A and B are shown apart, each in its own frame.
Chain A
Amino acid sequence: MSSQTLPLNQPLRQLSDTLRRVVLTELLFPITLLILGIYHGLLQVLYRAGFIRASSFLGLEYYQGLTLHGTINAVVLTTFFAVAFGNVVVSYFLGKKLSDVAARFSLTLMLGGTLAAAWAMLAGKATVLYTFYPPLKAHPAFYLGVASLIVGSWIAFFSWIPAYRSWRTENPGKKTPLAVVGIFSTFIVWFIATLPAAYEVLVLLLPWSLGWTPTVNVVLARTLFWFFGHPLVYFWLLPAYTMYYAMLPKLAGGRLYSDFAGRFAFMMFVVLSAPIGFHHQYSDPGIRTAWKALHGVLTFGVAIPSMLTAFTLAASMENGARERGGKGLFAWWGKLPYFSANDWLFSYLFCGLILFIFGGITGIVNASYQMNLVVHNTSWMPAHFHMTVAGPVFLALIGMTLMLVSQLTGKPLGSPGLRLSVPYLWMIGILIMSSGLFLGGVRGEPRRTNLGLTYTNHESPLFRHEWISSTTMAAVGGTVMTIAMLFYFIVFFRMIFSKRTVEKPELYFPTSEPIHDEKVPVLENFRPFLVGAVVMVILAYVPPLVDIARGKVPGSVPFQPDSPIPVQTSANR
């Protein structure tokens, strides 16, 4: 991996031509796919409210669309963005050139994998939702595609490590830029998380779906999935945290309240992201309550860095507002650049933070052991994660994508009005939609269900009148969200199709300086926290996995979603 050294602490403002094209593809491709993801988001709220009472609409089935919605929005978009953002952040803040070969190879694997999985989903051969729980079986191309996407993202991560190492040797005693710490934490969490996922997909599911092995242990597969599934949410979240710590204070017009808080939070996520997956399986059989309780306690632990972040960011924004002339105990809130054409990215990050207040609090409800039984798998859950992954994560992601594409292509960002309306409309839309889903959730409304065919169809004997108001509210919110995204796509594609105005496009990140620049040597090194993460994973997962392996769970033969007859494969015939 080549790493040409530049003058120290000089950000790298121009990527190599290859890396620039790779990053642009990594940003453009998923945003284009997102059109489909958003389209079926809207359709879902319409189905659920009973406005569409059918199993499919315009050739796309409800559950097929739901699979696309989850996979595109939560897995493909987030992974591509994290890799693109990482490529840019690592080269910019370390002032290092990255390997073009690795970048191209990683993009090829990710693109190929996504296309294979997208084909399987669109052809109706992988209607298994993004959790792909066996014994529902998808086409092997779906599993291979997911695996290829994951491995592709690893390749990118591996190519950043030599750049980081050489920066460290060249800058002894200097703190690693906070944004780089954020990105490396993101990908350490991701690497740990994707090992069990790779095992589940490649060792358990792929041979089973090809008919080479007759059965699969479903309890084990579910456990491995959530071993991956919860750190996955921190993989979504940490790029947004990186922007919050490294850029938001600057956008607000001030400085980061505490540099220590940022580094400490990132390291806490490295240690505590993975050993908490059982809080998704509180209702599962075959797992001892002691393991569930242990993971519950640790989940409470991982809430602490988020609460610390909330305080640090509020304090940093107050600093920015006072710099802008804000006074009083609360009046300073009025001075923040909510509608600034220059610091427009602030509005995207800020609206996400507002949503995250509710996302975080409901997350603690979900983690709360027995209390989870009230809301497990009800529409409360999508309400919660639309205030996290579709809140701060998504808004930071689409805002940063807009900024990066404009900077990398040298094309101007037009439409300031539309651009600034997107985060606010989106936030209002989510607040309405999630309120509906929360309300329905505590009334037992199930998630992942085509309610319009039965429960919200007054002609059906299964009609449930108490779910009408909540699903209608969700439909209103979902419509507002779709309008916000319509505006976003207009802004985005208008920029893409406009003329380049800057001949030599340059990168620029608004970068925060700290107020309190604490020097904490132990936080300067990932090694102790990596060891901590491995120890926690071993403590939290090895005993229950041994338990499950010893439990002799009878294996399951594969099923297709459209039939209760098991699929005949060469192995189980």
Chain B
Amino acid sequence: MLKYVGIEEKRVLLSAIGVLTFSAGVLAYLYWGRGLDLPGCVTDVAPYQEASVKRLGENQVEVRYLAKMWAYEPSEIQVKPGTELLIYLHSADVNHGFHIDGTNVNLMAVPGAVNFAKLKVTREGDYPIVCHEFCGAGHQNMAAVIRVRESAGPDAIIPVPLAQRTSPATGEKSKLSPVVMANAQKLLATKGCIGCHSADGKVLVGPSFQKIYGRAEKLTDGTEISVTEEYLRESILEPNKKIVSGFQPLMPKLPLAEDEVETLISYLKEQK
């Protein structure tokens, strides 16, 4: 067929093939020279429904992330610089994305198949993770973080003491101190609360936080209660013990420290 091709066209075809060969060469170098590959088929880990964090060695931590509407478990881990993370990812419900900003870890969480990537964290700081595949109404709330700190403990797991947390200042008008407010909002986001509970009265998966304190609610067993501090505490710690009528027992038990529970309660009391 080449006899039909003029000399200029031949040159163009050759340069096109040249450009593509060069690009392919770069990719081949990245693969063989730098060991960079795509995620493939994971055969040693079966699809799981429980997230876990496990230290494998002094500088190696295995994290089994579970992505679900609309949070990751664990939502926050803390490790020392130089740690190699073996990241597994699975979805409990629909498709989710998992991109650790500024790294080559970019995975899809697909129900039925486990994904895998390796990441060595070198610099101190926060590595934010966002969901980048549409997963429903709370998609834009689905985020997590890997904190890399010299001061990280050996178990690589949250909760991190509240005092260590830095939060953006907010300009909300509230009786709460800006610090408590910021901490509460951070908790609501990182624990995935706002995926199911709105602050504006809209009914999502769970009851809205708007004017929740003092509200009269009817429970599934028929009893009528008024939302008190005690009720809030119980509902945070034992989420499925009492369920408001019209909702379902779906909220997971969250590993919360006492000061975090306090923060959430004082925030909820102020939701007007």
Contacts and interface: CB of A to CB of B under 8 A. Distances in A.
Interface in B121-140: 128, 130-137, 139-140
A564 interface: yes
Contacts of B19: 307
Contacts of B89: 285
Contacts of B133: 133, 377, 448
A554 interface: yes
Interface centre among B128, B130, B195 (most CB of A within 10 A): B130
Interface string A276-310: 00000111111111001000110010011001100
Given A285-B115, A292-B38, A461 B167 contact: yes
Band of interface residues on B: 35 or more
B85 to A, nearest CB: 16
B216 interface: no
A482 to B, nearest CB: 23
A100 B233 CA distance: 71
Contacts, number: 236
Interface in A542-573: 547, 551, 553-556, 559-566
Interface residues of A, number: 82
Interface centre among B17, B107, B139, B248 (most CB of A within 10 A): B139
B13 interface: yes
A135 B93 contact: yes
Contact of B205 (A312, A444, A451, A563): A563
Contact of A300 (B20, B69, B143, B168): B20
A443 B93 CA distance: 28
Given A285-B116, A446-B97, A561 B9 contact: no
A297 B24 CA distance: 8
Contacts of A426: none
Contact of B250 (A444, A520, A565): A565
A467 to B, nearest CB: 10
Nearest to A364: B23
A264 B1 contact: yes
B31 interface: yes
A516 B141 CA distance: 58
A504 B205 CA distance: 62
B243 interface: no
A133 B188 CA distance: 28
A493 to B, nearest CB: 33
B134 A522 contact: no
Contacts of A66: 134
A371 interface: yes
Given A284-B108, A373-B105, A446 B24 contact: no
A551 B113 contact: yes
Contact of B168 (A258, A286, A463, A560): A463
A339 interface: no
Nearest to B195: A564
B4 A520 contact: yes
Given A311-B9, A454-B141, A559-B94, A288 B188 contact: no
B139 A63 contact: yes
Given A292-B38, A315-B8, A461-B182, 18 more contacts: A129-B134, A136-B94, A283-B39, A289-B41, A292-B40, A300-B24, A308-B16, A311-B12, A373-B104, A374-B104, A446-B132, A448-B134, A449-B132, A454-B140, A553-B113, A556-B94, A563-B205, A564-B196
27 contacts: A55-B137, A63-B134, A63-B137, A66-B134, A136-B135, A258-B9, A283-B108, A283-B115, A285-B89, A285-B113, A289-B41, A307-B16, A308-B9, A364-B23, A369-B38, A371-B27, A372-B38, A373-B38, A449-B132, A450-B140, A459-B172, A461-B168, A462-B143, A516-B6, A520-B1, A551-B113, A564-B250
* Closest A-B pairs by Cβ, 8 of them: A286-B113, A446-B132, A285-B115, A307-B16, A564-B69, A553-B112, A377-B132, A444-B101
